[in-house]
């Protein structure tokens, strides 16, 4: 499909795409124009603010898998060196960096800020339980609301994969849910907050 065909399929006129990266990307994912897809959010060189694009896979966390195809439908409206729909792979694009990119093992976890400890009520597997124990051993104090907020907003979320189960459990716990950036939930779990990341 070319740009005009995509614009017709999603019902958003091509001339209005600049500044609508999320709206256009979400419409493509919801219509499943390229099969199961979800929206990735992050930074992109040449775009002066947060940016959205389409990951041509429905799997949670697939935007961090190097060989997964991506489509940026609106990049041409920001960069003069891009024409038409921009296709690449998650590991091949020189410009796109999803929120939460990076390896957690390369970063220091935030230290405890005190407060009441909040451990997810939702059941987690042995691997996620061990990972939670590892985190607790690193931070030197309770995993409080303030600590969870710093952890989810400051640390890489792409690796290890077991982290996705912990994110899911924290999101399902109403005491902790508010600490997780919505983009992390939408990209790394099967939840679809506000219907903003994939087809329902």
In order along its 200 residues, the chain shows pLDDT tens digits of 999 999 999 999 999 999 999 999 999 999 999 999 999 999 999 998 999 999 999 999 999 999 999 999 999 999 999 999 999 999 999 999 999 999 888 888 899 989 999 999 988 888 888 889 988 898 989 999 999 999 999 999 988 788 899 999 999 999 999 999 999 999 999 999 999 999 98
Q: Which residues of 33-49 are buried (b: 16+ CB within 10 A; e: fewer)?
A: bbeebbbbbbebeebee
Domain assignment present for 77: yes
Provide the pLDDT for residue 106.
Answer: 86
Domain assignment present for 192: no
Domain assignment present for 163: yes
In a shared domain, residues 154 and 82: no
Domain assignment present for 187: no
Domain assignment present for 198: no
In a shared domain, residues 62 and 84: yes
In a shared domain, residues 18 and 73: yes
In a shared domain, residues 13 and 92: yes
Domain assignment present for 127: yes
In a shared domain, residues 65 and 129: no
In a shared domain, residues 57 and 135: no
Domain assignment present for 57: yes
In a shared domain, residues 81 and 119: no
Provide the pLDDT for residue 124.
Answer: 87
In a shared domain, residues 61 and 118: no
Domain assignment present for 200: no
In a shared domain, residues 9 and 94: yes
Over its C-alpha atoms, the chain yields an Rg (Å, rounded) of: 18
In a shared domain, residues 7 and 94: yes
In a shared domain, residues 112 and 93: no
What is the side-by-side strand order in the sheet with 69-72?
86-89, 69-72, 51-55, 38-44, 96-98
Cβ neighbours around 166 below 10 Å, total: 22
Provide the pLDDT for residue 40.
Answer: 98
Task: Tell me the whole-structure pTM to 2 decimals.
Answer: 0.93
- Burial of 147 by CB count in 10 Å (0-12 exposed, 13-18 middle, 19+ buried)? buried
Domain count for the chain: 2
Q: Could you give the C-alpha distances from 103 to 156, 164, 180, in angstroms and in order?
A: 6, 13, 18
In a shared domain, residues 58 and 136: no
Provide the residue range defining the domain that includes 119: 104-180
């Amino acid at each position: 499909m070319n740009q005009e065909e995509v614009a017709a399929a999603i019902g958003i006129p091509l001339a209005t795409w600049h500044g609508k990266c999320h709206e256009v990307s979400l419409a493509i994912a919801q219509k499943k124009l390229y099969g199961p897809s979800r929206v990735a959010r992050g930074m992109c060189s040449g775009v002066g603010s947060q940016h959205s694009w389409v990951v041509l896979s429905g799997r949670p966390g697939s935007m961090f898998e190097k060989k997964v195809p991506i489509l940026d439908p609106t990049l041409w409206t920001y960069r003069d060196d891009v024409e038409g729909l921009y296709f690449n792979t998650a590991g091949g694009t020189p410009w796109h960096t999803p929120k939460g990119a990076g390896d957690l093992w390369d970063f220091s976890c935030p230290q405890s800020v005190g407060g009441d400890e909040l451990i997810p009520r939702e059941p987690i597997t042995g691997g996620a339980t061990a990972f939670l124990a590892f985190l607790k051993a690193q931070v030197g104090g309770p995993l409080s609301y303030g600590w969870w907020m710093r952890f989810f907003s400051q640390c890489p979320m792409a690796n290890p994969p077991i982290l996705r189960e912990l994110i899911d459990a924290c999101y399902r716990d109403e005491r902790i849910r508010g600490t997780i950036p919505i983009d992390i939930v939408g990209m790394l779990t099967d939840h679809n907050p506000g219907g903003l990341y994939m087809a329902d």
